[in-house]
Amino acid sequence: MESWLVISAIIAAYLGLTLWVGLRAGRGTSATVDGFVAGDRNFGFLVMYFVTGATVFSAFAFLGGPGWAYSRGAAAFYILSYGVLGMAPWYVIGPKAARIGRQLGQVTQAQFLTGRFQSRGLSLLIALISIAALIPYITLQMRGAGIVIEAVTDGRVPLWAGAAVAYGIVLIYVLVSGVSAVGWTNTLQGVFMIVIAWSLGLYLPHALYGGIGPMFDAILTERPELLELPGLNATGAPWTWAGYSSSILISAVGITMWPHLFMKAFTARDEQIIRRTVVWFPTFQLFLVPVFLIGFAGVLFVDSIAQADFILPYLILNVELPVIVVGLFCAGALSASMSTGDALMHATASVAVEDGVRPFVPLGEAQQRLLIRTFIVVFGAVGYFFAVSEGISLVVLLLTSYGIIAQLAPPVVAALFWRRATTLGAIAGLLAGGATTLLFFFWPALKPIDLHEGVFGLAVHVLVLMLVSLLTPAQDRARVEAYVNPPAQAAPPTH
């Protein structure tokens, strides 16, 4: 049998298994908005662990991670540095947000924020920011899936068809089972990603160089600049320490503020599960080690490649690997793409309805669920349109959106810990921080130093939030205490 047929069969088997798991996942969930968006707040530790890990590590990490190590060397280590730093505060914030969400019936980040800072305008603003940041992210995942399938089938299954098949399946299981499908498929996909990344990360250096140590010895002799911090920038010149350090800072602040991750706080069965997920997150973070080893394996083996992100499929196809390994790699890459893509599509549609529409138009339960499902299809179609269109710099859009998403951190922290914060302060801070980030993104020459534009945005944001809050009347005491000092969680029901 021709190798591309074997690979296609493995992909088909993997996709079939994912669909089966996704469809079965929603069977015990109630037919309510709470069920569709927050899984009836009943996710256990195993599912939460994989939801968090597999959602964080997307096609961007699986393909972009090796690409960065290959083309920018030590610069890639910033990705390794921010994950645990960013997740650690979630040990405190996550359970507190979950408790408040449970008490006030919230299922989205904007509902959480507007529970303290009551404003329909703020809800709409957060919805718009979230959707603008999430759509490029969805597009990247779809494109990643299409690229991998096109590469390993030698172009017989083109990008548009690969992306359509993979995301057609995502669409079916998310539409049918909601967030429960996201949870259980991410568990399957998380296992795939970890096993395949570690297998390839250990195998490729051995196959090409005789081991990890000899591989780095060889790179040190030929390309020593690649292994010295802070690595290289996109043009191949040395990256600045300011750029490297501020990328760690802004990513650490932004990581848990992504709506598709933040909203998962509302899916956990109890607060202890969120804490345990944070405690065990570093084990998922170590997944980046083999991912980088794969990229470094390409340094002396591949002279140049048009797009660094293709280094992993390129190596896979040019090292004499058994065809079944190539097929499994493909399943791993699809897992990385789909496990993030499904959460993104689900979150984007939920945010659009719950935060963009419902504050303005009263909707019944059934209407909300129908509208969320409709928006899943709409945003899926928009993402797909961009994914198959050429010439749009999505990576740039995504990096900018990190700066914007990080702007959600100050109001979240203020809502939970600062009694004197006010609605006007929160709105003014968000507008000022977002505008500053966009200003320095579009006119980088205006930056006083080479820091990530989101850092300037955060500095302005915090200042404006504090000043405007102090200049406006304090909030009603009961509302403040419901957030700063929420009543203890009731014991979970026993089954």
Partner 1 sequence: MSKRVIRRIAIGVFVLNMLAVTWPVATLFRSPEPQILGLPQSMAWPIAWVLIGWIMLLVLDHFENKDPGD
Interacting residues toward partner 1 by CB under 8 A: 74, 77, 80-81, 83-85, 88, 91, 211-213, 216-217, 220, 224, 227-230, 241-242, 244-245, 248-249, 252, 272, 275-276, 278-279, 282-283, 285-286, 289, 292
Q: Which is nearer to partner 1, 87 or 163 (CB)?
A: 87
CB of 252 to partner 1, least distance (A): 8
For residue 183, CA distances in Å to 46, 202, 209, 447 come to: 9, 29, 39, 41
- Positive or negative, the CA dihedral 305, 310, 313, 316 is positive
Which residues sit opposite 268 in a β-bridge?
Answer: 43
Say how far apart CA 304 and CA 194 lie, in whole Å. Answer: 28
CB of 431 to partner 1, least distance (A): 28
CB of 220 to partner 1, least distance (A): 6
Q: Which is nearer to partner 1, 191 or 279 (CB)?
A: 279
CB of 8 to partner 1, least distance (A): 36
CB of 66 to partner 1, least distance (A): 14
Say how far apart CA 249 and CA 108 lie, in whole Å. Answer: 25
CB of 187 to partner 1, least distance (A): 21
Q: Which is nearer to partner 1, 283 or 389 (CB)?
A: 283
Q: Which is nearer to partner 1, 67 or 230 (CB)?
A: 230
User: Counting beta carbons within 10 angstroms of the beta carbon of residue 317, is it exposed (0 to 12), middle (13 to 18) or buried (19 or more)?
Assistant: middle
Q: Which is nearer to partner 1, 193 or 330 (CB)?
A: 193
Residue corresponding to tokens 């300011």: 242
CB of 283 to partner 1, least distance (A): 7
CB of 133 to partner 1, least distance (A): 24
